[in-house]
């Protein structure tokens, strides 16, 4: 969770307008507030302003639109955001988890349970593992050090399989642990297993970063349906526009 303070405003919105069924649009604000660090500076002042906005709005859409005016919500997510170091702030890891969770991604172990679940039950204490698809030590001295920890090189998996994979060549561990192309697709990895040569690492990063940016913008557009266009991502501002929503 990138910010706890935003939860206060989220709960205040939903508590004030419980009958309007707008969780998605309220959660959209939460995601954008986390993205732009709404409470990272003078959090008490920002929180006071936002709670006042929620309290004086006549309906949920008006309240959310008012809150979003304080953010650059129309700015689409670019592929470059997924080329950043995955340890650079909590938000981008949080967004990656939201995307694979929404996509029903399965763990990479033999059981293949959906991430965050134990059977059909949602796990309250699930701790996602940030697995390097091309493992760190495997890439060491083969590519630029600053590109090894790119978020585009990260998959979200469970702890047990993460330990077993360790630093193996992806072309070997994908077969060894029978990680199917379906499971790769669930993590927005479009490559065939035979394409995971180290010589193609940069090409892999570019392709996955672009795919993740497209999925992220589609996700934000889906959450924000029903809100004014000025509050939603404007894909005309993006470097590459391939959204389907």
**Is the separation of the CB atoms in 131 and 162 below 8 Å?**
yes
pTM: 0.92
pLDDT at residue number 182: 96
* Average pLDDT for runs of 10 along the chain of length 245: 86 92 95 95 89 96 97 97 94 97 94 80 78 96 96 95 92 94 97 92 98 98 97 84 50
Place of tokens 């990272």: 40
Residue 88: the pLDDT is 92
Cα gap 83→213, rounded to integer Å:
10
Q: What integer pLDDT is reported at residue 124 of this predicted model? A: 67
pLDDT computed for residue 172 by the predictor: 94
pLDDT of residue 62: 97
Q: Looking at residue 177, what is its pLDDT?
A: 95
Residue found by looking up tokens 């033999």 in the block = 110
Q: Which of 157, 126, 150, 117 is nearest to 136 (CA)?
A: 150
How far is Cα 94 from Cα 34, in angstroms, rounded to an integer? 9
């Amino acid at each position: 969770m990138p910010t706890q303070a935003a939860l206060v405003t989220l709960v205040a919105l939903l508590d004030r307008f419980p009958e309007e069924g707008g969780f998605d649009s309220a959660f959209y604000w939460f995601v954008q507030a986390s993205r732009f660090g709404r409470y990272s500076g003078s959090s008490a002042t920002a929180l006071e302003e936002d709670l006042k906005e929620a309290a004086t709005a006549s309906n949920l859409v008006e309240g959310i639109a008012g809150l979003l005016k304080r953010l650059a919500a129309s700015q689409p997510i670019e592929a470059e955001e997924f080329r950043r170091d995955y340890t650079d702030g909590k938000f981008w890891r949080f967004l990656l988890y939201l995307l694979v969770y929404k996509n029903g991604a399965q763990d990479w172990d033999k059981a293949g349970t959906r991430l965050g679940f134990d059977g059909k039950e949602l796990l309250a204490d699930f701790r996602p593992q940030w697995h390097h698809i091309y493992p760190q030590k495997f890439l060491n001295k083969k590519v630029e050090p600053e590109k090894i920890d790119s978020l585009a090189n990260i998959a979200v998996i469970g702890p047990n399989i993460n330990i077993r994979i360790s630093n193996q060549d992806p072309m070997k561990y994908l077969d060894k642990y029978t990680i199917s192309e379906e499971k790769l697709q669930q993590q927005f990895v479009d490559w065939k297993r035979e394409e995971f040569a180290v010589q193609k690492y940069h090409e892999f990063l570019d392709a996955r970063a672009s795919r993740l940016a497209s999925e992220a913008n589609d996700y934000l557009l889906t959450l924000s349906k029903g809100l004014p266009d000025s509050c939603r991502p404007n894909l005309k501002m993006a470097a590459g526009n391939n959204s389907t929503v």
